[in-house]
Amino acid sequence: MENTAHTIDRIFSLQQTQAIKQRRSPVAARVKLLTALLNWIKDHQEDIRKAIHADFKKPYTEIDISEIFVVTSEINHTLKHLSSWMKPKKVPTPLTMLGSKSYVQLEPKGVCLIIAPWNYPFNLALGPLVSALAAGNTAIIKPSEMTPHTSALIRRLCAEVFDENVVAVIEGEVEVAQRLLQKPFDHIFFTGSPMVGKLIMKAAAEHLTSVTLELGGKSPAVIDQRVDLKDAASKLVWGKFVNCGQTCIAPDYLLVQTSVKKQLVEAIKTSLEDMYNPSAKGVQASPDYARIVNTKHLQRLSQLLQDAVSKGAVVEYGGTIDVSENYFEPTLISHVTQDMAIMQEEIFGPLLPLMEYQEIDEAIDYINANPKPLALYTFSNSDSFNRNVIASTSSGGAVANDCVLHFLQTELPFGGVNNSGIGKAHGYYGFLAFSNEKAVMEQRIGLTASKPLYPPYGAMAKKVVASLLKWF
């Protein structure tokens, strides 16, 4: 049996050769690959559900929505538009280039590395693969070792659908990722934390490899006093506690206008009970609530809660932890201050801190004083309020009067800004991320607009240059 280092070397070499061969791959060839992937997913939905559920008890319906549907809709959207995406895009010819023709030709970057996270292990491994294949690349996927059942399923999927010189899966822990990063990939797509993202970018810099970094950060939700509290609460509860809060674009904390704070707390409590405790047997008994991925992350979240409470935070709902099954109850806390650890790092779990503000400028200033988040959410009956907050802050994406849903909008680019990420994904924007936008210009033989500027530079050249500077 091959050792991992030899496997990486062998597969990378195979894909380098294949990437050159399929540089001119037609639409039909790419459609064939994507269709084969789509059919496998449709035929093995139960296997996908079982694998993800085995890793952290994610509810089947939640798996269908946030793992399977996201990938199949991405494939269907791509299949519908791929032909038009691949066509050269003509650009206008300026007067100074009269006689020539120019266009932008999208070509595959080559051999790509996809490093997937554990929180949405199927979706965030195969979503980028769809874009990579659509753009004509080969790809190596490194799934997360924290979700071994799903990683094994992805390896099986790729082995049954693709030749390894086109798509391969290499499993392993940190040292495997480090070994992969030593290779001169043509593009790296990484989803994970900003801290690890910096390491990925450093490794990519050694080979001047382009990167897409889908990171995270503390995504705020700003709640105005002019709001439908019941509507806002239900959307916040769903967006925050789906996948047990382990979502990069989940609302990380609430900024609530003081006048509606108490009413919002009660509305959130009601929504939590309605969604996760309808039978009054306790949230832990709910089949619709996932678990924390492992004990290490459970302990980290427990420490965040303990630190906040020790510094004066009040638990409004939840707080129960059961280490035996990595259960962390949905937890809402108020009286939160900036010096608490929970406000210093991305929570990535079912802890929802609430801070108050009097005037909207206070909330805006607080957001702008911190690293740019991956997402920002506003809730208000006033369109001007929502637009003001979105325009006055910087974030990877933003949603007014809902949260998380923009990830499912295939026509929108998805990604962060600065600390929350580099580059965009999904649909056409994912296709672009894995493509080189080659500038192509075609000139007629014996004709060039720049000939008067050839040396030796005389009076004519000076006149031409003077005209260019004046009129163009």
- Asked whether residue 256 falls in the same domain as residue 294, the answer is yes
Residue among 424, 379, 67, 397 nearest 217 (CA): 397
Nearest-angstrom CA–CA distance, 215 and 345: 13
Identify whether 300 is part of a domain: yes
CB 465 within 8 A of CB 453: yes
Mean pLDDT (the chain) is 96
Nearest-angstrom CA–CA distance, 159 and 357: 54
With 80 as the cut, is the pLDDT of residue 101 above it?
A: yes
CB neighbourhood size of 303 (10 A):
12
Cβ-in-10-Å burial (0-12, 13-18, 19+) of 280 comes to exposed
β-strands 397-400, 421-422 pairing: unpaired
With 90 as the cut, is the pLDDT of residue 466 above it?
A: no
39: domain CATH number is 3.40.605.10
- Asked whether residue 294 falls in the same domain as residue 231, the answer is yes
pLDDT tens for 330-358 read 999 999 999 999 999 999 999 999 999 99
With 60 as the cut, is the pLDDT of residue 450 above it?
A: yes
Identify whether 445 is part of a domain: no
pLDDT band at 461 (very low <50, low <70, confident <90, very high): confident
Nearest-angstrom CA–CA distance, 99 and 284: 72
Identify whether 76 is part of a domain: yes
pLDDT given for residue 160 in this prediction = 98
With 70 as the cut, is the pLDDT of residue 438 above it?
A: yes
pLDDT given for residue 459 in this prediction = 85
Query: Which residue has tokens 């990378």?
Result: 12
Identify whether 466 is part of a domain: no
pLDDT given for residue 1 in this prediction = 41
pLDDT tens for 152-180 read 999 999 999 999 999 999 999 999 999 99
Identify whether 279 is part of a domain: yes
- Asked whether residue 27 falls in the same domain as residue 112, the answer is yes
- Asked whether residue 133 falls in the same domain as residue 251, the answer is no
- Asked whether residue 107 falls in the same domain as residue 204, the answer is yes
Instruction: Provide Rg for the chain, Cα atoms.
Output: 25
β-strands 187-191, 210-214 pairing: parallel
Q: What percent of the chain has pLDDT over 90?
A: 92
Strand partners, 375: 397
pLDDT given for residue 2 in this prediction = 61
Read off the pLDDT of each residue in 358-384 and give the average, rounded to a whole number: 97
CB 52 within 8 A of CB 67: yes
- Asked whether residue 207 falls in the same domain as residue 308, the answer is no
pLDDT given for residue 413 in this prediction = 97
Strand partners, 445: none
pLDDT given for residue 447 in this prediction = 67
Q: Is the peptide bond before 373 cis (omega within 30 degrees of 0)?
A: no
With 90 as the cut, is the pLDDT of residue 312 above it?
A: yes
Task: Provide the whole-model pTM.
Answer: 0.95
- Asked whether residue 202 falls in the same domain as residue 113, the answer is yes
Which of 67, 74, 214, 329 is catalytic? The answer is: 214
Read off the pLDDT of each residue in 399-404 and give the average, rounded to a whole number: 97
What residues contact 37, with CB distance under 8 A and at least 6 apart? 75, 126, 129, 130, 133, 157, 161
229: domain CATH number is 3.40.309.10
Active site residue 112: no
The long-range contacts involving 142-146, CB below 8 angstroms and separated by at least 24 positions, are 142/113, 142/114, 142/115, 142/116, 142/169, 142/170, 142/171, 142/172, 142/176, 142/177, 142/180, 143/116, 143/169, 143/171, 144/116, 144/117, 144/118, 145/171, 145/172, 145/173, 146/55, 146/118, 146/293, 146/294
Structure tokens at 217: 């950060």
pLDDT given for residue 472 in this prediction = 82
Identify whether 450 is part of a domain: no
Q: What percent of the chain has pLDDT over 70?
A: 99
- Asked whether residue 211 falls in the same domain as residue 226, the answer is no
pLDDT given for residue 449 in this prediction = 63
Helices (H) and strands (E) in the chain, counts: 16, 18
In the chain, helix, strand, coil percent, each to 5? Answer: 50, 20, 35
pLDDT band at 109 (very low <50, low <70, confident <90, very high): very high
- Asked whether residue 234 falls in the same domain as residue 202, the answer is no
Provide the residue range defining the domain that includes 224.
220-415
pLDDT band at 460 (very low <50, low <70, confident <90, very high): confident
Identify whether 161 is part of a domain: yes
With 90 as the cut, is the pLDDT of residue 470 above it?
A: no
Which of 248, 316, 329, 356 is catalytic? The answer is: 248
pLDDT given for residue 138 in this prediction = 98
Task: Give how many domains the chain has, as a whole number.
Answer: 2
pLDDT tens for 185-240 read 999 999 999 999 999 999 999 999 999 999 999 999 999 999 999 999 999 999 99
Nearest-angstrom CA–CA distance, 134 and 115: 18
Active site residue 244: no
- Asked whether residue 85 falls in the same domain as residue 190, the answer is yes
Is the pLDDT higher at 460 or at 93?
93
Identify whether 8 is part of a domain: yes
Cβ-in-10-Å burial (0-12, 13-18, 19+) of 223 comes to buried
- Asked whether residue 262 falls in the same domain as residue 185, the answer is no
- Asked whether residue 161 falls in the same domain as residue 32, the answer is yes
Residue among 465, 472, 440, 421 nearest 213 (CA): 421
Lowest mean pLDDT across 2-6, 203-207, 277-281, 401-405: 2-6
